[in-house]
Structure 1
Amino acid sequence: MFEMLLPYLLPILLLTLPLLFFLTKPNKKSSTNTNNITIPKSYPLIGSYLSFRNVGNRRIQWLSDIIQIAPSATFNLNRPLGTRQIITGNPSTVQHILKNQFSNYQKSTLFTKTLYDLLDTGIFNTNGENWKFQRQVASHEFNTKSLRKFVEDVVDTELSDRLIPILSLSIQTKQILDFQDILQRFTFDNICKISFGFDPEYLTPSTNKTSFAKAFEDATEISGKRFRLPLPVIWKMKKCFNIGSEKRLHEAITQVREFAKKIIREKKLELKQKLSLQTEDMLSRLLSSSHFEEDFVTNIVISFILAGKDSTSAALTWFFWLLWKNPRVEEEILKEINEKSTSLDYDEVKTMVYTHAALSESMRLYPPVPMDSKEAINDDVLPDGKVVKKGTMITYHVYAMGRMESLWGEDWAEFRPERWLENDGYGKRAFVPRDPFTYPVFQAGPRICLGKEMAFMQMKRIVAGIVGKFKVVPEPHLAEHPNFISFVTSQMEGGFPVTVHKRIP
């Protein structure tokens, strides 16, 4: 359809190229001033894009600041060409769209089309019956047996055989490590092992980028950058002509999907030849239990890798930065680790209550997915009385919600794991979760994250393995607040350079 319309679009595009260039030209002097925050002005055709453009790479923080001053923590953001969007940090509104009126608010068309090349109709990029079916299939992968194997076999092996030796070597060589990159490699290996039964060996002393991992990184980053453009037609035109970033995206996605399908075919052959083969990984169980089409299985596996790799490593990156800034919390975690055995099995990891609280507190301030959007299928009215027209996109701002004094108190800016704990009546600390609409880090309602428990178990085991043996010290320039950015998931802009020191008992 797009190709058929191209002859008619070209004259319009030629007339609007100067405007598009003006809108997309990066602003090198991005504002860092949070004073005098106001709801952005809107202009014909371009909406509020001038304000959006002027904040540069502080867009997440800028929208968060506006939410703090907006009535009922909700405001309208007018996008180019009349696209309607509501930004909110109101828990009642979040509950309304994620639970109470779930059927009326689906993955937005903008979201699904922008990520279609990468995710196709995988579980994170679809709605309705297709989503329900995939969720039912995926739910079988998160039983206690699978979680135990993941922690005690997959995560422990990656820790002992790769991560700890790399950290120990860096002490000897006094090497500066990009810890964000190290964590991304670690979680990439882990999720590939549990999903595919395949080890990409991405975390190695040489830190070379394997072709599959590099292609996956490029595909997620370029897909995420599509959201930053003022008009989708910009990336669609580049895709049509196969130029620039869209050419690289096509190459990367082709490489990812071909590699995934190759592994699926090899796994099918392996299962056929060895009838007694234990089906320990997700791919083997999917192929053994049903006759799903190759594209369907590929979409599920790619979605799992995306969720398991980027979200967990993003959470841990900011967690280790916060530990460095808060030595009191680090001491409490170290004390909890020292109370456990050196082997630290699955059951002991589960009882790491203080570490669990510290991770929850870290994700309150730095959520792996800082914003998420839904689209209204029909007209509606929000709990605060705001009218929602059909086709309006509603974005709930997780990052902003973690910074609201009305939700977290006057000490919201403090990294304080104790806010998640209480005495259990027997002299021990117990974890007390917040309701998921105040803390939608793992979404909420019917779409709440299936992998939440797996993510916590993996993160706690990694924290125990690192903090118990090493002290991670960021480079001095990170004493100032690093910039929080996001493509599909959040990152620390410029990486997370650290030196590692052996912990003295």
Structure 2
Amino acid sequence: MYSCCTSLMQNSDTHLKNISEKLSKEIYKDRPQFTMGSLLLSSAVILLLISLFVSTPFVLLLLGALTSVLVIFVALFLFLHVPELKSKAKRPPIAGSMLHQLLYFNTLSDYQTSLAKKHRTYRLIMPLHSEIYTTDPANVEYILKTNFPNYGRGAHIEIMRDLFGDGIFAVDGEKWRHQRKLASYEFSTRVLREYSTAVFRDNAAKLVAKVSTIAVANGAMDLQDLFMKSALDSIFKVGFGVELNALSGSDEFANRFTKAFDDSNFIVFRRYVDMFWKVKRFFNIGLEAALKRNVKIIDDFIFDLIRCKREQMENEKLVREKEDILSRFLMESKRDPENMNDQYLRDIILNFMIAGKDTSAGTLTWFFYMLHKHPLVQDKVIHEIRDATQAKDNICAKELSRLMTDDVLDRMHYIHAAITETLRLYPAVPTDGKISVEDDVLPDGVEVKKGEGISYMAYAMGRMTYIWGEDAVEYRPERWLDEDGWASHLPREGICIQANENHGCCAPLLVQIPTCG
């Protein structure tokens, strides 16, 4: 009986939905669809019912406050969006609001994908503005490359600054160009590449040894947590030249730093859908109070490392090539001590850590998840490793990592394809946004207003059939290969965007080294 009723309700809902959609198309043809209507109507009904059955002073006061908020919201909505009905400008359809972002926060990427399947480019409305979201490859290339100067961080800078400071992800203009130039030079040097490769290989061996120990004992493990700690150890060693030992968990202060680092990233991300984060920051309450405490822990630790490194370099008698990033930047700061002070160095290196840690660990987590879900792919990966390294079954992790030379890695086409396919479906940054500096028109004809936010959805793009074909949602590494090895004729829009983005840094390098090593 329950299943029959459920089926009947679903059929009725579908029928009513079809009727509603037809009526909407007739009434609001060629106009934005105001999806906030249902929300406003529901709020009005609730307020009316409360006023009918409850009349205490407190409830009436609350009712008045809610009514005022509702009136202000409606007035703002009409003021901002009704003029668009009279305009001939091509604007993307309204597909939701900030409320929807909050409701679907834990499955935000999937929610955005469901909207993208209906509209390649759409808008979500906010209290004072709207945000454009797109999966159109031509639009994405235009934003990130063709007309890159017109799209910066803008208002996003304020959201990120408390944690990111003046790092490359939270600045525009000359500061961004300086850091980009500096990072491009440093990460292309032989010394840093060789040093970072050795660090990642050593920590990969430690990670494999720990996983093997737990597996032999038939114990349970949180792979993502292990990947995150291992990646942080590697990034910290490359960045500061010191051991954090997050994977071993032996250092209590390192554990505090790791937790503060992860929690701060989450809180900053949460700000994008929290309309009241500035109020919370002003009163130092809730998550904003936690962010302030966490940033202090991070800053105290990093500034102490910078001070110690400065003293070490000043007292060092033997001149040798500096390997870690902080040492190299400290040498650079001698040429411009006023601008490259301790705060600036903190911001540069912390941004590097944020970029490298989560991209590496997140990719590893999804990669192993996909191997677990696809045993045939897992078998091919293992077979290729054995063939390329000529390793024996009883080889230890440290010896295996030593065999992973650049030449060996270059021969592992299938693993490369499997990692790339993982990034296609689970990109390190599912959604990334910019702010328009001036009015503009995208390649699909959509007009973008000055100061309007526009985001490209890499996660959704990896699932679009018009880019990848009908099997877009399938995990199939073979799509990247042909008879001669790596295929060159396939679309790259859904996978290489973040690696090619001008605001990017060394993340692609950091993903490849720990994953393949």
After superposition, residues 413-492 of structure 1 pair within 5 angstroms as 413-424=473-484, 429-430=485-486, 432=488, 437-461=493-517
Contact 1:363/1:441 (8 A) holds in 2: no
The residue number in structure 2 matching 1:482 is none
- 1:28-427 → structure 2 map (5 Å cutoff): 48-70=97-119, 73-79=120-126, 81-109=127-155, 111-143=156-188, 145=190, 146-151=192-197, 153-160=198-205, 162-204=206-248, 210-229=255-274, 231=275, 234-275=276-317, 276-291=319-334, 292-341=340-389, 342=400, 343-424=403-484
State whether residues 195 and 324 of structure 2, in contact with CA within 8 Å, keep that contact through their aligned partners in structure 1.
Answer: no
Residues 261, 298 of structure 1: 8 Å contact kept: yes
User: How far off its partner does 1:430 sit?
Assistant: 2.6
Deviation of the 1:147 alpha carbon: 2.5
Shift of the 308–434 alpha-carbon distance from structure 1 to 2, 3 Å rule, reads farther
Distance in 2, Cα, partners of 1:173 & 1:446 = 46
Distance 1:190 1:86 in 2: 37
Q: What is the identity, as a one-letter code, of the residue corresponding to 2:298?
A: V
Which residue in 1 is equivalent to 2:7? Answer: none
Separation of aligned partners in 1, 2:271 and 2:67? 18
Aligned pair in 2 of structure 1 residues 243, 304: CA closer, same or farther (>3 Å)? same
How far apart, CA to CA, are the structure 2 residues paired with 1:221 and 1:431?
37
Cα distance in 2 between the residues matched to 1:296 and 1:50: 36
SS for the counterpart of 1:59 is helix
- 1:174 deviation in Å? 2.0
Consecutive unaligned residues of structure 1, counting only runs of 5 or more, are: 1-13, 24-37, 43-47, 462-505
Question: Structure 2 vs 1, CA of residues 445 and 40 (structure 1 numbering), >3 Å: closer, same or farther?
Answer: closer
Q: Distance in 1 between matches of 2:471 and 2:371?
A: 18
Shift of residue 49, structure 1, vs aligned partner? 3.5
Bigger mean CA offset, 366-375 vs 59-68: 59-68
Distance of 1:454 and 1:63 partners within structure 2: 28
Q: How many residues align?
A: 414
Q: Deviations over 1:74-126 (max 9, x none)?
A: 012112x23121110000000111111111111131x2111110001100111
TM-score by length of 1: 0.77
Specify the code of the residue in structure 1 equivalent to 2:341: E
> 2:471 & 2:516 partners in 1: Cα distance?
25
2-structure distance, mates of 1:433, 1:289: 42
Greater Cα radius of gyration, structure 1 or 2: 2
Write the letter of the residue equivalent to 2:502.
P
Aligned pair in 2 of structure 1 residues 90, 362: CA closer, same or farther (>3 Å)?
A: same
Residue identity opposite 1:351 in structure 2: R
Report the AA paired with residue 463 of structure 2. Answer: R
Asked if structure 2 preserves the Cα contact closer than 8 Å seen for 1:196 and 1:282, the reply is: yes
**Cα contact 1:442–1:448 (8 A) shared by 2:** yes
Given that residues 281 and 289 in structure 2 are in contact (C-alpha distance below 8 angstroms), is that contact kept between their aligned partners in structure 1? yes
Query: Counterpart of 1:403 in 2: which secondary structure?
Result: coil
Q: Distance in 2 between matches of 1:241 and 1:17?
A: 25
Measure how far apart 1:15 and its partner are: 4.4
CA RMSD of aligned residues (A): 2.5
The secondary structure found in structure 2 opposite 1:239 is: helix
Residue 328 of structure 2 aligns to which amino acid in structure 1?
A: R
Question: What is the CA-CA distance between 1:17 and the residue it aligns to?
Answer: 11
Query: Contact 1:97/1:105 (CA < 8 Å) preserved in 2?
Result: yes
How far apart are the structure 2 equivalents of 1:416 and 1:250?
44
Deviations 1:408-433 (A, max 9, x none): 11111211111112233xxxx23548
Identity %: 33
Normalized against structure 2, the TM-score is what? 0.75
2:381 alignment partner AA:
I
CA distance in 1, matches of 2:342, 2:313: 15
Off by >4 Å, runs of 4+ in structure 1 = 14-20, 38-42, 205-209, 433-436
How far residue 19 of structure 1 moved from its aligned partner, in angstroms, is: 5.9
Counterpart Cα distance in 1 of 2:342 and 2:212: 42
Residue of structure 2 in register with 1:501 after alignment: none
Instruction: Using the TM superposition, give the Cα deviation of residue 142 of structure 1 relative to its aligned residue in structure 2, in angstroms.
Output: 1.9
* Residues in 2 aligned to 1:431 and 1:196: alpha-carbon distance in whole angstroms: 38
Indicate if the aligned counterparts of 2:245 and 2:251 stay in contact, CA closer than 8 A.
Answer: no
